[in-house]
Amino acid sequence: MLLAVVIAKSLIELSLMFIIGRFLLGLLAGSNRDNNVFWQLLDVASKPALWITRKISPKLILDQHIPLATSSWLLIAWVLVVQLKVELCLEMGIAACQ
């Protein structure tokens, strides 16, 4: 169970990093970002989380707000997974979590 929680935590952290990196690179690259190789890599890497958010969110939410919504639910999921990991570590003993 602990392994599943650690894997989920890592995937959530990666998704958050991809979305934040995509945002920051978008600010730096400006309108020319579609030609940037790193932007394209971050865009492809963040697509699964953005796609899930688009599918579960109402159509009223604009496409330009989907990254913010994705970051929000990923941050909430990260807090919940960290809380679960702490509870598991306290139950199993600290030595099992190192």
Predicted confidence band of residue 10 (pLDDT cuts 50, 70, 90): very high
Q: Give SS3 for 62.
A: coil
* Residue 49 confidence (pLDDT): 94
75 touches 68 (CB < 8 A)? no
pLDDT tens for 21-77 read 999 998 998 888 888 899 899 999 999 999 999 999 998 989 999 999 999 999 999
Predicted confidence band of residue 95 (pLDDT cuts 50, 70, 90): confident
Angle at 17 between CA 3 and CA 71, to 5 degrees: 95
* Residue 36 confidence (pLDDT): 87
